[in-house]
Structure 1
């Protein structure tokens, strides 16, 4: 929420006036980081482009984030050119890694952003509190406990319609009393194939739903015990894949306990546990017809599932100038699969386990207040990670050389950061962090080959080690907010995928370890020219090199700038967003990650979007937008090549983004 809106809301509440609420202007880019490294925003706020259908889509409002488009939904998030498990992606403190060997159902596919209360992002290896391996950053979608001082109810609901038959409906309702509450969230979202700026139809149809219920016990103001249950499903077809996702079944259970208000050094304790299971189906016949001239001419389906369960416990102590947070966490993850030729023939086969992954960790993070304007924050964590190969060779194929073997790794991580303030408006930070990251499921089991001299990726791919310096400056005043955040790092044993296309085996992938170097920066400025007019801009730049080969790192997003103007009249607002992306000529064709690869240089582009929002009475808000106003035909650099099943040529062709897109959204908040 903008600072002016917050002040207006607080003033109205203090005066006892609830007839008119301040309006939240439409978010086009996230505000400045709150404490140097952490970004926090309310995912319920209206945003442009068209409100997000998944977690990756919402993250793109934060400078430094991009996404690899899968289709109309379920993009894979990228931060500063880093992807996969380098980003620790959490929802309600639990992990829900997808099951697809190519990350068709990445963790953000199962997140409906508007059903959460808070999105918190920490860029870089600058925290150890939320699990291992977060070399690029940590993303947390969180829900708060729905406390009530007296019997009552709260409701947030919305409905959206837009181009390409986009239709969304959402409800978030809670009711309770001082001793407890019940909260129910649900959403349904769908769209047809979209039209690109050149008029072509891009296969991108999708539909998804989620439903969650939380039961909370609040015997006093300092205690919370909550149980959560969730289900969801969906389908999506993809112009850049040989199969579509025809099932995204989600089954989630969680429990958390929080207690504060202690006397003495102990201030708070928290504990949580979760069990998340996804059942994902891919086929080439439900949402498309098999291509008789392609590599998969017959109907085929692949059914994969992944069960992940774990927990976390931590305590907070205040000891003089010190604040300490020690804790432990753990996670187990089991992956199974089955596949068959023929329509629904997979149903006749048993599921076979191919992987088992485990992690046990202990951590401590501490903050020391050196003075009123200076503090030090540091953390250490130690993890024991293991992976077991349960793969069994298919009939007629050579046996897996590592079948039945287990890999164990002991991994240490830590950081030290200094933060200081000068006066009311200026702050700065600088921190050095190091993370050792266990190769994830996709890096151990998806590649066809491992490094030279190893029997496969499971045996040969080594853990990554990232050492990174992060630094930043923030300035806030009555009229001007400005910030900059920069980073530079070295990655030992960076896990790089190389794609080999052609021959009888089709596309083959090899995973290698290389030495890499990364650096870049994000910056933003917001200027309130007059009380109602706000001008803003953000810039993001990322660069990476493969030091072994002397070539660029693949899948690096190009330089991007966003410029916005907003007129905020309290009860209504209007704005525009001009997004400009530079060409990218630093590429490594045929290299990338399990999600995608560089398919050549890309051209720059610019798009203009308009938005408006108005308060209708006390509880209603109407917002509207036009994305890609001039119907530009353009494609993002991070992209998947179009599939021949939909008529794309054999030479890699980028998938165009949506053309002109209109949307209208009605929100109710009580």
Structure 2
């Protein structure tokens, strides 16, 4: 088996880690002389709960179990219905209710950051450091039109709040984390300002070595990443904001389930935001611009040795980059019993690539553009108060999308591309309507809504497949837009000692975009993208019981089902039934908690079918894991938390998974990658 090599830590990254640590320790020590008189710091997050119908909100800075997240997809797994397509230590691809890719609208500060890798090694949330954001908002299903096209599965927004100052001052927040397998994180969030404006800087560094699974076997999964963002805001009055922001980041990641590793995850971001609040019928005006660039390098020699017996016996590298620019303008109005938000948004994305054999040889090659994508949309969403506790929420949008194929050659043999220079244009409608009812004085409410959206095939569906539908020259020419119509229903109860909620959905997907993997090709498989019709349905439920003072018991259940009605088979990559049970005790100074996660066996599979990242490898076994956490509030601003994940050191793997690479000694037959064994972690949080 090839040796597992480590990349050298650059001095600048070590300097960032040291600076963050030195900044945080004195602040924590200075605050430690206070005495906690209230539960000012929340307990460890293990199960998310809805804040309103179909909407989940949480603070990503809160401690979390399992071990605090290294990327955006990892944090989403606390919300019932979410999981991630796994490939090792970090950068799993988020999945909601078995739906994947551009069916999820993934936004940071309301801008898009799509990755560049044709196989989504750097999916959009791999560039997100959750703890550097203030709020995570998730809307499940096609039940909003405000935040861009598609979003048939849901909308995910990581957001930073505006720091405002009534007088000159500064605020600092941060954390330190250490854990098993060399886990080592630092985060600093500092803002200084006055009534007229502010400056805010967020920075983080996170790393881990290869982990060991429950059998004690090493799983190649090393990663290291850092991010730094700066925002400068002008606030001439309480109703006005103008903010300029800039950010950058980079990282590395070794993948047990891929033939290459990520040796660069360079991110460069610029943003401009304007907000103005009014006090008449026009309530608010918002406008924003952004520019995000991902510059990603994949190779088989920085974090591993080339496998002389594998499909890439020589050193090889691929450098891909994607620049995405966009903007949004929206206005909010309010009259008696009616609220309306309407506006326009637009986005352009340019993708380029270069690759070569030999260490670093790609750097001498020119870039080649392979695709341009563009979307322009108009939207309106309103909320009517019909009577006390009765509301109707509805929205509509229309998008004009286009994609241009700039590949001169395509396929393994680099044959002339029959769609070179061609542009596809599609008009895509979307809309929803939902009724919500709260029964006064009972704590009970329910809702029912239906939504429809049409989704343009994304870069990974148009360009990445080796083949398109039968009779089409390629996927770019043959794949049709995907159309989803879905019914969502649910109910919530909030009482003095009990909170409970349940949601269910049923949908029809016309022209669902499906990948099928066939034997052959240089990499061992070749992919074909086709359209099929599909049916989906499922449910989630959860609740909290507070039987005694300081005690909280909780639980959640999530189930998803899908069928390929064209072929009469199961829809691939559907998440198995999953349940979580938790218990937490918190007396204001000390806290303790436990989490039991149980996942059922998944037998409904479609072998060798899936998406651009993964495919069904066959049935998967069920498993259960148990975790413990505890905390101590040193003061009203400082909290120490600790946890043990996978307490009993179980050897298990997730259903949504990549097969282990032969480069690391995995067998030729597909074998899922095991999850980490027993993991210990300790985290120090400091809040303003």
Whether these two folds match at TM > 0.5 is: yes
> Which of 86, 89, 94 is residue 69 of structure 1 equivalent to?
86
Give the match for residue 606 of structure 2: 588
Shift of 1:398: 1.7
Give the match for residue 78 of structure 1: 95
8 Å Cα contact 2:37-2:588 kept in structure 1: no
Give the match for residue 301 of structure 2: 285
Q: Which runs of 5+ in 1 are unaligned?
A: 1-16
1:555-574 Cα offsets, whole Å, 9 max, x none, are 00100000000011111210
Shift of 1:21: 5.1
Please give the alpha-carbon distance, in whole angstroms, between the structure 2 residues aligned to 1:556 and 1:160.
Answer: 33
Residue 334 of structure 1 pairs with residue 346 of structure 2: no
Q: Which runs of 5+ in 2 are unaligned?
A: 1-34
Instruction: Please give the residue correspondences for 1:307-386 in structure 2 after superposition, counting only pairs within 5 Å.
Output: 307-386=323-402
In structure 2, relative to structure 1, the CA distance for the partners of 1:511 and 1:262 (3 Å cut) is same
> Which of 110, 115, 121 is residue 98 of structure 1 equivalent to?
115
Instruction: Please give the residue correspondences for 1:611-622 in structure 2 after superposition, counting only pairs within 5 Å.
Output: 611-622=629-640
Please give the alpha-carbon distance, in whole angstroms, between the structure 1 residues aligned to 2:448 and 2:153.
Answer: 16
Give the match for residue 13 of structure 1: none
1:352-391 Cα offsets, whole Å, 9 max, x none, are 0000000000000011110011010000000000000000
Shift of 1:20: 5.2
Shift of 1:19: 6.0
1:129 aligned counterpart, secondary structure: coil
> Which of 467, 474, 484 is residue 485 of structure 2 equivalent to?
467
Give the match for residue 57 of structure 1: 74
Shift of 1:521: 0.5
Give the match for residue 151 of structure 1: 168
1:37-70 Cα offsets, whole Å, 9 max, x none, are 1111111111100000000000000000000112
Residue 268 of structure 1 pairs with residue 298 of structure 2: no
Instruction: Please give the residue correspondences for 1:178-577 in structure 2 after superposition, counting only pairs within 5 Å.
Output: 178-263=195-280, 265-393=281-409, 397-424=414-441, 425-502=443-520, 506-577=524-595
Give the match for residue 111 of structure 1: 128
Please give the alpha-carbon distance, in whole angstroms, between the structure 2 residues aligned to 1:667 and 1:320.
Answer: 44
2:99 aligned counterpart, secondary structure: coil
Please give the alpha-carbon distance, in whole angstroms, between the structure 2 residues aligned to 1:504 and 1:422.
Answer: 62
Please give the alpha-carbon distance, in whole angstroms, between the structure 2 residues aligned to 1:589 and 1:569.
Answer: 50
Please give the alpha-carbon distance, in whole angstroms, between the structure 1 residues aligned to 2:417 and 2:306.
Answer: 30
1:598 aligned counterpart, secondary structure: coil
8 Å Cα contact 2:311-2:522 kept in structure 1: no
Please give the alpha-carbon distance, in whole angstroms, between the structure 1 residues aligned to 2:476 and 2:268.
Answer: 29
Give the match for residue 166 of structure 1: 183
> Which of 598, 621, 626 is residue 603 of structure 1 equivalent to?
621
Residue 136 of structure 1 pairs with residue 153 of structure 2: yes
8 Å Cα contact 1:23-1:614 kept in structure 2: no
Please give the alpha-carbon distance, in whole angstroms, between the structure 2 residues aligned to 1:571 and 1:222.
Answer: 38
Shift of 1:152: 1.2
1:150-182 Cα offsets, whole Å, 9 max, x none, are 111111111100000000000001011111000
1:645 aligned counterpart, secondary structure: helix
Please give the alpha-carbon distance, in whole angstroms, between the structure 1 residues aligned to 2:685 and 2:586.
Answer: 18
Please give the alpha-carbon distance, in whole angstroms, between the structure 2 residues aligned to 1:172 and 1:157.
Answer: 6
8 Å Cα contact 1:275-1:309 kept in structure 2: yes
In structure 2, relative to structure 1, the CA distance for the partners of 1:48 and 1:403 (3 Å cut) is same
Please give the alpha-carbon distance, in whole angstroms, between the structure 1 residues aligned to 2:522 and 2:273.
Answer: 52
Give the match for residue 661 of structure 2: 643
Shift of 1:35: 1.6
Aligned-residue CA RMSD in angstroms? Answer: 1.3
8 Å Cα contact 2:36-2:634 kept in structure 1: no
8 Å Cα contact 1:20-1:617 kept in structure 2: no
Shift of 1:619: 2.3
1:512-553 Cα offsets, whole Å, 9 max, x none, are 000000000100011001011111110000000000111000
Please give the alpha-carbon distance, in whole angstroms, between the structure 2 residues aligned to 1:44 and 1:288.
Answer: 34
8 Å Cα contact 1:375-1:420 kept in structure 2: yes
Larger deviation: 314-323 or 472-481? 314-323
8 Å Cα contact 1:23-1:571 kept in structure 2: no
Please give the alpha-carbon distance, in whole angstroms, between the structure 2 residues aligned to 1:559 and 1:396.
Answer: 43
1:432-454 Cα offsets, whole Å, 9 max, x none, are 00000000000000000000110
Please give the alpha-carbon distance, in whole angstroms, between the structure 1 residues aligned to 2:440 and 2:544.
Answer: 20
Instruction: Compute the TM-score of the two structures, normalised by the length of structure 1.
Output: 0.96
Instruction: Compute the TM-score of the two structures, normalised by the length of structure 2.
Output: 0.94
8 Å Cα contact 1:71-1:236 kept in structure 2: no
Q: How many residues align?
A: 653
Please give the alpha-carbon distance, in whole angstroms, between the structure 2 residues aligned to 1:21 and 1:549.
Answer: 55
Please give the alpha-carbon distance, in whole angstroms, between the structure 1 residues aligned to 2:414 and 2:358.
Answer: 21
8 Å Cα contact 1:244-1:287 kept in structure 2: yes
Please give the alpha-carbon distance, in whole angstroms, between the structure 2 residues aligned to 1:144 and 1:23.
Answer: 19
